[in-house]
């Protein structure tokens, strides 16, 4: 009995891409996971677009706590379970909505849903933020949400995206309302479990195909870049204030390709963001760094302390009367205050002045877009020019 139970593990047979930082699971894995009786079971009443839902009305997409808005500005937080939070911690809405300064004029509604990928986050966001008057939108993305955008099933059937003729295409909808019918017609498709067991075991002497992983990662990047750019376009087109919040499973996530991809994409498009890993690295609460202070062991989700750090940053960004700045820019500002002390003989001084002058920044952003240049590069070039002119006058 125990022997057969030990063999009923999806990882023994399904194709799993051996990514260096975080394994990438195939659709086979999630289908086998369900068929082998995984704890994450499908919803009783699947949503035709999203697959499964969170704490919002499945028809109107309005949050179930909107009665507490009471004339204040809504702050809408999207994402997966990292945004939604696990039950053992104090979550973002708990922290911020009881903060008397923040909650005086704002009310945060948590639209996070466990298991969501970037694609589902986008679909929920575009159908819900339009229900609110002048909302402030926070797009939460956990680095591993990226691969979820391209698979058609996780705990159950879900929407996914492909690219056809350079256009983003929504696939897999409407969602099948019958779980049994779906799995009966969409099995794992494994012809030989014995051969798959061999391939995934230490007995496998065949050369590993790295091109499969490279191709998978490239597909993940292309699809998610299209989705994220569409989110940015929609929000900017409707003059919605927004920022991205990037979560990172610890430890060893700093050099994960997912982080580099997200940081570069956001900065290239001048998108304000909060980088949770930066907040953790700059936290001085504890004398010594301990993983368990920031992430729940054997669970992977943020602790109350990490949620508090992020909430503090959300509060600062939203209450900033000028414009939202990224955590990297904020770190630069703090560095300048403590180290440079506004020394106008240094290029960092002028970079700081540019970033915190709204008209100057707008001019730089427009110029960078016209030239197809990275905004950070344009700022550095402008700062170098101003510094050079100043030194010439001496």
- Residues 300 and 337 both lie in one domain: no
Contacts made by residues 63-67, CB under 8 angstroms, sequence distance 24+: 63/109, 63/110, 63/111, 63/128, 65/93, 65/109, 66/109
**Strands 16-17, 160-164: pairing kind:** unpaired
> Taking the mean position of all CA atoms in its chain, how far away is CA 111?
13
- Residues 20 and 121 both lie in one domain: yes
- Residues 254 and 311 both lie in one domain: yes
Q: Last residue of some domain: 319, 348, 376?
A: 319
209 vs 192, more confident? 192
- Residues 191 and 306 both lie in one domain: yes
Q: What are phi and psi of 196, to 5 degrees?
A: -65, -40
Q: Last residue of some domain: 281, 299, 319?
A: 319
- Residues 202 and 332 both lie in one domain: no
C-alpha–C-alpha distance, residues 217 and 258, integer Å: 9
C-alpha–C-alpha distance, residues 176 and 188, integer Å: 17
In this model, does residue 336 exceed pLDDT 80? Answer: no
- The answer to whether the beta carbons of residues 115 and 80 sit under 8 Å apart is yes
Q: Which of 285, 299, 291, 233 is nearest to 85 (CA)?
A: 299
How many C-beta atoms lie closer than 10 Å to residue 8's C-beta?
A: 13
pLDDT value, residue 312? 95
pLDDT tens per residue, range 97-144: 999 999 999 999 999 999 999 999 999 999 999 999 999 999 999 999
- Evaluated on CA atoms 141, 145, 147, 148, the torsion sign reads negative
> Taking the mean position of all CA atoms in its chain, how far away is CA 51?
19
Residue holding tokens 């939460």? 140
Please list the residues that pair with 108 across neighbouring strands: 75
- Residues 99 and 218 both lie in one domain: yes
199 vs 125, more confident? 125
In this model, does residue 394 exceed pLDDT 80? Answer: no
Average pLDDT, the chain: 87
How many C-beta atoms lie closer than 10 Å to residue 64's C-beta?
A: 10
pLDDT tens per residue, range 51-60: 999 999 999 9
Return the structure tokens found at 256: 């994960």
- Residues 379 and 347 both lie in one domain: yes
Both ends of the chain: CA-CA distance in Å?
A: 86
pLDDT value, residue 354? 80
Mean pLDDT for 73-83 is 97
C-alpha–C-alpha distance, residues 108 and 136, integer Å: 9
- Residues 217 and 236 both lie in one domain: yes
C-alpha–C-alpha distance, residues 306 and 297, integer Å: 13
Domain count across the chain: 2
- The answer to whether the beta carbons of residues 276 and 249 sit under 8 Å apart is no
pLDDT tens per residue, range 352-372: 778 767 788 888 888 887 887
Mean pLDDT for 218-228 is 97
- Residues 137 and 207 both lie in one domain: yes
* Cα separations in angstroms, 162 against 156, 219, 221, 226, 354: 19, 9, 11, 10, 39
Here the CATH number for the domain that contains residue 299 is: 3.40.50.1110
Residues found in the chain: 394
Give residue 367's region: left, alpha or beta (phi > 0; psi -120 to 50).
Answer: alpha
Q: What percent of the chain has pLDDT over 90?
A: 53
Per-residue confidence band for 34, with pLDDT thresholds at 50, 70 and 90: confident
C-alpha–C-alpha distance, residues 318 and 178, integer Å: 43
Reported in sequence order, the residue ranges of the chain that DSSP labels E, i.e. its strands, are: 16-17, 24-25, 73-78, 106-110, 136-142, 160-164, 167-171, 241-247, 273-275
Give ∠ CA 166-272-326 in degrees, rounded to 5.
Answer: 135
C-alpha–C-alpha distance, residues 277 and 289, integer Å: 13
- Residues 15 and 113 both lie in one domain: yes
- The answer to whether the beta carbons of residues 33 and 151 sit under 8 Å apart is no
- Residues 266 and 335 both lie in one domain: no
> What domain range is 247 assigned to?
2-319
Residue holding tokens 């894995």? 29
C-alpha–C-alpha distance, residues 119 and 146, integer Å: 8
Per-residue confidence band for 373, with pLDDT thresholds at 50, 70 and 90: confident
Q: Last residue of some domain: 284, 319, 354?
A: 319
Q: For the chain, how are helix, strand and coil distributed in percent, rounded to 5?
A: 50, 15, 40
- The answer to whether the beta carbons of residues 68 and 107 sit under 8 Å apart is yes
Mean pLDDT for 283-292 is 88
- Residues 80 and 222 both lie in one domain: yes
């Amino acid at each position: 009995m125990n022997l057969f139970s030990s063999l009923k593990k999806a990882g023994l047979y399904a194709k799993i891409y051996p990514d260096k930082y975080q394994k990438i699971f195939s659709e086979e894995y999630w289908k086998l996971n369900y068929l082998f009786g995984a704890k994450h079971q499908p919803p009783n009443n699947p949503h035709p677009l999203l697959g499964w839902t969170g704490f919002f009305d499945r028809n109107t997409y309005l949050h179930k706590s909107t009665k507490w808005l009471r004339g204040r500005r809504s702050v809408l937080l999207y994402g997966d379970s990292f945004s939604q939070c696990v039950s053992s911690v104090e979550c973002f809405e708990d922290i911020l909505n009881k903060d008397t300064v923040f909650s005086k004029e704002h009310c945060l509604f948590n639209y996070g849903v466990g298991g969501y990928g970037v694609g589902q986050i986008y679909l929920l966001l575009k159908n819900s933020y339009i229900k609110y008057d002048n909302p402030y939108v926070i797009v939460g993305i956990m680095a591993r949400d990226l691969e979820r955008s391209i698979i058609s099933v996780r705990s159950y059937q879900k929407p996914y995206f492909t690219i056809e003729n350079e256009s983003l295409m929504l696939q897999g909808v409407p969602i099948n309302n019958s779980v049994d019918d779906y799995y009966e017609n969409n099995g794992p498709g494994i012809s030989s479990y014995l051969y798959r067991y061999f391939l995934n075991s230490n007995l496998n002497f065949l050369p590993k195909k790295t091109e499969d992983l490279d191709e998978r990662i490239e597909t993940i990047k292309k699809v998610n870049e299209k989705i994220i750019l569409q989110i940015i376009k929609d929000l900017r087109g409707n003059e919605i204030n927004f920022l991205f919040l990037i979560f990172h499973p610890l430890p060893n996530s700093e050099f994960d390709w997912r982080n580099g991809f997200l940081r570069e994409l956001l900065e290239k498009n001048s998108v304000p963001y909060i980088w949770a890993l930066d907040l953790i690295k700059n936290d001085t609460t504890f004398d010594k760094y301990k993983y368990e202070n920031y992430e729940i062991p054997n669970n992977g989700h943020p602790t109350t302390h990490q949620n508090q750090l992020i909430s503090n940053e959300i509060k600062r960004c939203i209450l900033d009367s000028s414009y939202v700045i990224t955590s990297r820019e904020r770190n630069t500002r703090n560095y300048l205050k403590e180290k440079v002390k506004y020394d106008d003989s240094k290029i960092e001084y002028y970079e700081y002045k540019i970033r915190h002058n709204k008209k100057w920044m707008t001019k730089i952003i427009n110029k960078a877009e016209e030239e197809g240049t990275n905004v950070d590069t344009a700022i550095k070039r402008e700062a170098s020019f101003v510094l050079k002119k100043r030194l010439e006058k001496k």
